[in-house]
Structure 1
């Protein structure tokens, strides 16, 4: 088996029994189970959810997306070896830690394989919950150009690049294109203020106005738990994006939960503490890959300018990235996962075959 075989690049073609289309995102694919299979698994596996809860199988891939495009490497490498397993292992670790600290639950009910979650259906809040502890990235680029107001919060003058902010900043943005919300442009990824959320809480998917404060509290608490755990291994939690949604609990009550992934190198910036103290930035997250791409391609504006999306897509499609660049990303992801979890990440020789076998024999989800 070659390196390319150990990569799970296509994850939307598994023969899982479903009566709905497979939803394939940039990295994960979601298979909604039939009503009968959902009810059977809840019964057989003893999941603590209402008997009629819809369940899904979420399969993570090893694909790497940056600047809204999927990139690939030489030698038929359609993803990053170990990336999916590393991301899931990190998320699973933080979700367990959240539980130990009495924070909210997640949508994950079961982890049958390192690349697979069984999740309950959630009603997502249409806000990417972004929290920042340092000024860097897009926020620094905007600040440098003279912008001082972010999501209704005014930053002081005189901040330096990569400096710790005076306080944690919540800078939410829209998740998907939201229509008909006054003052919020109809495009993905638009910054929104607390006032926008307050004025249009239902349009953003909040079930109660006071849940805005609850989501902010859960965001800060989750950030603090991960930040402390990372500091213990001399890593800095720079900024991150959480997603939230509602599920119905066993008592038929609606509750706010964490969903998707948390605290991973895909959804966060993580810096090496020792390097930072020496005045250097050593990225232990996808940001390192983004910086590589900006240097690698002669015209980085293609990657940064939303008006040049067709050129950007062609760039990602037509260029095989060097193997050493892909393996450097693999080393970063696996390294962070092993530091965080304290356990080795093992690459499976044929992840797809393993997943099919487990879902067939243990869960009866493949004919």
Structure 2
């Protein structure tokens, strides 16, 4: 079997029993189970959810996206070996730690395979919250141009690139296009302030105003848990994205939970501690791939300029990356995952066949 065959690139064609369209994102595909299968699994497996809760199978791929495009490599490589397993393993580790430390549950109910989660349907809070401990990336670029206010927070003059901030900053943005919120443009991923959220909490899908405090507490405590654990591995947790939603448990109690993924090399910046102390920033996250792309192509503006999206898509479609580039990315993902979980990563040799087998034999979801 070739290396390319071990990569799960297409994850929306599995024969999982469903009566709804498969939802496929940049990296994950979601299969909503039938009402009968959801009820059966809740009963058989004893999941702590309402008996009529809709369940889904979430399958992660090894595809890699950056600058809103999917990238491929030579030799039929449609993704990065081990990437999906690394992302799932890291998220699983942090979600488990959050639960153990009494923060909140996640949407994950079961893990049948390293690339698969069984999740419950959550009512999402319509916010992507970035927690930042250092000034870098897009925030630094804006700061360097003279901006001092970020999501209603004032930053002082005189900060340096990659400097640690005095406190963790929460810079939220909209998740999807939200309509009818005063002062918030009707576009996806636009920065908002805490006042925007507090004054329009229902529009952001919060059940009650008090939940905003809980959301901020879970953000900061979740960030702290990951940051402290990474510090023990001599890694620096720079910034990350969090997403939340509401679910109802078996007793009918509604609760706010963590969802999507958390603390992964895709959704976070993680710096190598020893290198940082020597004045060098070495990324143990997708940021290293972004930087690699910027240096690989002669006109990096295509990747940074949203007005050149058509050119960017053509660039991604027409250029297979060298194999060593994708293997370098694989090393980054697998390396940080093995550091976090404290052991070897379980990477499949034949992921699609394995997933079909386990979902058929142990969950009865494939005819």
Q: Tell me the alpha carbon deviations over residues 6-50 of structure 1, each in whole angstroms, 9 at most, x when there is no partner.
A: 000000000000000000011000000000000000111111111
Structure 2 CA distance, aligned partners of 1:209 and 1:300? Answer: 43
SS of residue matched to 1:321: coil
- Shift of the 342–204 alpha-carbon distance from structure 1 to 2, 3 Å rule, reads same
Matched, 1:142 2:142: yes
Equivalence for 1:319: 319
Q: TM-score, normalised by structure 1?
A: 0.99
Shift of 1:205: 1.0
Q: Contact 2:111–2:117 (CA<8 Å) still a contact in 1?
A: yes
- Equivalence for 1:159: 159
- Equivalent residue, structure 2, for 1:76: 76
Match of 2:272 in 1: 272
Distance 2:68 2:178 in 1: 19
Query: What is the match of residue 195 of structure 2?
Result: 195
How far residue 347 of structure 1 moved from its aligned partner, in angstroms, is 2.5
- The TM-score normalised by the length of structure 2 is 0.99
- Once residues 176 and 314 of structure 1 are traced to their aligned partners in structure 2, the CA distance between those partners, rounded to angstroms, is 25
Query: Following TM superposition, by how much is the alpha carbon of 1:189 offset from its aligned partner in structure 2, in angstroms?
Result: 1.3
| 1:161, distance to aligned residue in structure 2 (A) | 0.2
Q: 2:27 aligned with 1:27, yes or no?
A: yes
Deviations along 1:44-73, one digit per CA (max 9) or x if unpaired, are 111111111100000000000111111111
Q: How far did residue 276 of structure 1 move?
A: 0.5
Q: Which residue of 2 aligns with 1:340?
A: 340
**Distance in structure 2 (CA, Å) of the matches to 1:259 and 1:27:** 15
Task: Tell whether the 8 Å contact from 2:275 to 2:281 is kept in structure 1 after alignment.
Answer: yes
Structure 2 match to 1:305? 305
Residue in structure 2 matched with residue 182 of structure 1 by the alignment? 182
Residue aligned with 1:291, SS: helix
In the alignment, which residue of structure 1 is the partner of 2:256? 256
Q: Hey, what's the Cα distance between the residues in 2 that align with 1:326 and 1:297? A: 15
Paired with 2:40 and 2:363, the residues of 1 have a C-alpha distance of 9
Question: Is 2:356 the partner of 1:356?
Answer: yes
Measured against aligned partners, the alpha-carbon deviations of 1:122-152 in whole angstroms (never above 9, x if no partner) come to 0001100110000000000000000000000
The Cα RMSD (Å) is: 0.7
Query: Which residue in the other structure is 1:119 paired with?
Result: 119
CA displacement, residues 128-179 of structure 1 (integer Å, 9 cap, x when unaligned) = 0110000000000000000000000000000000000111100011111222
- Taking the aligned partners of 2:193 and 2:216, their CA distance within structure 1 comes to 12
User: Is residue 2:41 matched to residue 1:41?
Assistant: yes
The 10-residue stretch of structure 1 (35-44 or 173-182) with the greater mean CA deviation from structure 2? 173-182
Residue 280 of structure 1 and its aligned partner are, at CA, apart by: 0.3
Kindly state the Cα deviation for residue 180 of structure 1 after the two structures are TM-superposed: 2.1
> 1:91-106 alignment to 2 at 5 Å?
91-106=91-106
Match of 1:221 in 2: 221
In 2, the alpha carbon distance for the partners of 1:203 and 1:330 equals 40
1:189-237 deviation per Cα after TM superposition (whole angstroms, max 9, x unaligned)? 1111001101111111111111111101000000000000000000000
Aligned-partner Cα distance in 1 for 2:113–2:10 = 16
1-side partners of 2:338 and 2:323: how far apart?
22
Tell me how far apart the structure 2 counterparts of residues 174 and 303 of structure 1 sit (CA, whole Å): 23
In the TM superposition, residue 186 of structure 1 has moved relative to its aligned partner by 1.7
CA distance in 1, matches of 2:347, 2:3: 10
Secondary structure in 2 matching 1:171: strand
Runs (4+) of structure 1 exceeding 6 A deviation are: none
| Mapped partners of 1:240, 1:293: distance in 2 | 21
How many residues get paired? 367
Q: Secondary structure at the match of 2:72?
A: strand
CA shift digits 1:280-335 (9 cap, x unpaired): 00000000000011111111111111111111111111110111110000000000
Cα distance in 1 between the residues matched to 2:153 and 2:215: 18
Tell me the CA shift for residue 251 of structure 1: 1.8
Post-superposition shift, 1:187? Answer: 1.6
CA distance in 2, matches of 1:250, 1:366: 26
